[in-house]
Amino acid sequence: MTTENNTPLEQNPSDIDLDKDLIEGRKRELSGWQYWVVAGLALSASLFHLYTAAFGLLSAMYQRGVHWMFMGSLIFLIYPFSKSRPRNKIDIWDWVLAGLMAAGCLNILLNWDAIAMREGMPIPSDIYIGIMMIVLVIEAGRRSMGWPLPIVAIIAIIYAVFGPYFPGVLAHGGFPLEELAPFQYLRTDGIFGVPLGVSASFIFLFVLFGAILSVSGAGQFFIDLSLAVTGRSQGGPGKAAVVASGLMGTVSGSSVANAVTTGAFTIPLMKKAGYTPNFAGAVVAASSTGGQVMPPVMGAAAFIMAQFLGISYWDIVVAAAIPATLYFISIVAMVHFRAGKRGIQSLTGETAPRVGRVLKEGWHLLLPIITLVVFLALGYSAVKAVFWSIVIMVAVSWIGKPEYRMTPKRILHALIDGGLGAVEVAAACACSGLVIGVIGITGIGLAFSSFVISLSQGILPLALILTMIGSIILGMGVPTTAQYIITSTLAAPALYQMGVPLMSAHLFCLYFGVLADVTPPVALATYAAAGIAGSNAMKTGFTALVTAMAGFLVPYMFIYNPHLLFQGNILQIGLSFATALMGIIGLSAGVQGYYIAPLSIIERLALLAVPFLLIVPNWMTDAAGLAILLGVYFLQKMKAKSNNTLNG
């Protein structure tokens, strides 16, 4: 949401707006008293979450009830019913829907003791309000995310009600609406379940952290630092795009927002250096997508994973570190080999600033992220860690440039942006809660696990492929958070029954849901990057798919080699990382057709075989992979030396 020229809030023109819905023109642009009402709700939401972070979270239903009261009401005020509705004012029925959403939440907040005393026995008002809340949650999801996830929720509700009419293992006794509606509304298994609880406890604060970092000039600092670190190497502009997107991943959990904010600067640089528009857009899309699995601030799904697995968020961060590093190294390698193939040189002069100068001007912007990592590593809760990181961010902003200092007006702007930026994730969590509720009450999760095991004939590679396909297809239509919630609930137990550790199974589901953002035909991040690059969206999508190809292999690697999730001693972890890195280098060189010189067909096929040799740990296949890498390297060296001799 933006304001017109009469907005009382100051915003520096260089600030980076991480709101992808505003970029896509989906949100209303309000002014006057309507703006102040919406801004007041967003500000109140931010203050509430900061208060509970500082002084302790409320009990589950109260924390989630207040959170969804703010988020659910805001959705109807900032998202119009359809694109044809005016975007400069709020329709009267949207005020009504926002009021009904607030009333449904207030009913829980004001009457929870009486509801708890009934021990789950609903009264007529529980049924009516429950049905109303189900409808409102689905409509809120449709407005903020589009139809895919609400359709999944509607199918889930239909399945719960008409269970006896489904065939085979899908059949169940059925649950009438007068039983299903209170279950979804009054228990921590439905709308107010674990996903919304994580949104209310952790995700909102991390969105707010990102908003404050953005207003503090972190976006430009990350881009400058990326150019300084990589700009003077071969293909520097492309590598800078990868590093900038990885750093921006610590601020934004959205692939689209990441692609837009970093791509606006790095894509023109890449094109100017000699990269094709398709490849420039693909690199930004692929690396921006990886931001969702990049520690320490991963996407919202990581917080939910911690709750599902009953472990600390820090454990997720540690486990995800090596796979994320391998993913970004693979894209850097793709860029490096493409630059060698096309003869693209490094940046020079002012376009590649010095690391020392960049750090001298913006070193303080790293302190909040370092604080976050240290607090998590010391065992503090994610809530406390991000709260103190926010406090430190506000304090250290006064060290930097005057235009980025967190004055009261800029703090107010960031708090409002944070409140508005969290609504879509909250909607995804609430809508996913409906699906999780149906899975729990019907027992379909166990039936689905049995189905996957049966279909794969108990063969783990086949079960992994089926899970991958399901995760990608679902991820094309619904946000990553919702995709992870659904697939991890349905598919992860099946993988666990086949001997896969739970952590590995959940990360596997997450990775392929994330990669849906670069998988055509529905590849949202590539569409955003292609718009900036001026390239064909579909061609850019397939190029991004190839560029991110390592992301399709890394999950299989950590399934078969848990050392890549930091499990084991330092020697085991180090050797596993080294062999996985060999596979990534071989894959990248083979895909681009260039190593230290252009590759022949045989050399290219040999390098493409390397990653497949290294998926399953085995000293013989590892030795074969290393032999191929070294053999092709020395063969190309000999060819280069021979060519130089002939030319001389």
Query: Phi and psi dihedrals of 598, rounded to 5?
Result: -55, 140
pTM here is 0.81
Q: Between these two residues, 522 and 415, which has the higher pLDDT value?
A: 415
Task: Show the tokens assigned to 555.
Answer: 């999950």
Share of the chain above pLDDT 90, in %: 45
Quick one: pLDDT at residue 263?
A: 82
pLDDT at 16 over 50: no
- State the pLDDT confidence band at 251, using cuts at 50, 70 and 90: low
For residues 214 and 171, membership in a common domain is answered with no
- Regarding whether 368 and 219 lie in a shared domain, the answer is yes
pLDDT at 328 over 80: yes
- Within-domain flag for 50: yes
> Which contacts qualify for 132-136: CB closer than 8 Å, 24 or more apart?
132/100, 132/104, 133/101, 133/104, 133/181, 133/184, 133/185, 133/191, 134/181, 134/184, 134/185, 134/191, 134/434, 136/72, 136/97, 136/100, 136/101, 136/104
Q: Are residues 88 and 218 in the same domain?
A: no
Same domain, 588 and 647: yes
How sure is the predictor about 140, in pLDDT bands with cuts at 50, 70 and 90? very high
Do 243 and 170 belong to one domain? no
Provide the residue range defining the domain that includes 185.
20-190
Question: Is it the case that residue 373 has pLDDT exceeding 90?
Answer: no
Token pair of 212 as six digits: 């404050």
Residue 88 sits in the same domain as residue 151: yes
Q: Is 259 or 426 the better-scoring residue by pLDDT?
A: 426
Please check whether residue 156 lies inside any domain of the structure.
Answer: yes
Please check the confidence at residue 531 and state whether its pLDDT lies above 90: no
Domain membership of residue 528 (yes or no) is no
Tell which of 425, 444, 464 closes a domain. 425
Residue 450 lies in a domain: no
The answer for residues whose C-beta is within 8 angstroms of residue 189's C-beta and 6 or more apart is 183, 436, 437, 440, 441
pLDDT value at residue 120: 65
Pick the most confident of 15-19, 269-273, 293-297, 309-313: 309-313
Domain presence at residue 459: no
Q: Are residues 150 and 210 in the same domain?
A: no
- Report the range of poorest mean pLDDT among 200-204, 300-304, 349-353, 599-603: 349-353
Look at residue 43 and tell me if it is in a domain. Answer: yes
Res 350: pLDDT: 60
E-assigned strand segments in 128-241:
none
- Average pLDDT of the residues in 215-235: 81
Tell me the per-residue pLDDT of 69-113, one tens digit each, with 9 for 90 and over: 999 999 999 999 998 898 899 999 999 999 999 999 999 999 998
Higher pLDDT, residue 262 or 545: 545
Final residue in a domain of this structure, among 394, 425, 456: 425
What band does 454 get if pLDDT is binned at 50, 70 and 90?
confident
Q: Select the highest-mean-pLDDT range: 18-32, 212-226, 401-415.
A: 401-415
Is pLDDT larger for residue 146 or for residue 479? 146
User: What is the per-residue pLDDT for 184?
Assistant: 95
Mean pLDDT for the stretch of residues 544-567: 92
Same domain, 185 and 214: no
**Domain end point (choices 172, 190, 208):** 190
The region that residue 120 occupies, defined by phi over 0 for left and psi between -120 and 50 for alpha, beta otherwise, is left
Q: Report the number of distinct structural domains present in the chain.
A: 3
Residues 32 and 177 in one domain: yes
DSSP 3-state assignment of 594?
strand
Is 129 within the bounds of a domain?
A: yes
Together in a domain, 407 and 378 = yes
Per-residue pLDDT tens for 160-219?
A: 999 999 988 789 999 999 999 999 999 888 999 989 998 999 889 988 988 888 788 877
Query: CB–CB of 393/178 below 8 Å?
Result: no
Cα dihedral across residues 326, 481, 486, 108: positive or negative: positive
Would 553 be classed as within a structural domain?
Answer: no
Same domain assignment for residues 292 and 217: yes
**Side chain identity at residue 135, one-letter code:** V
Verify that 85 and 200 share a domain, yes or no: no
Exposed e or buried b per residue across 170-182, where buried means at least 16 C-beta atoms within 10 angstroms of its C-beta: eebebbeeebbbb
* Short-list 202, 194, 132, CA closest to 439: 194
Tokens coding 152: 């999944």
CA-based end-to-end distance of the chain: 65
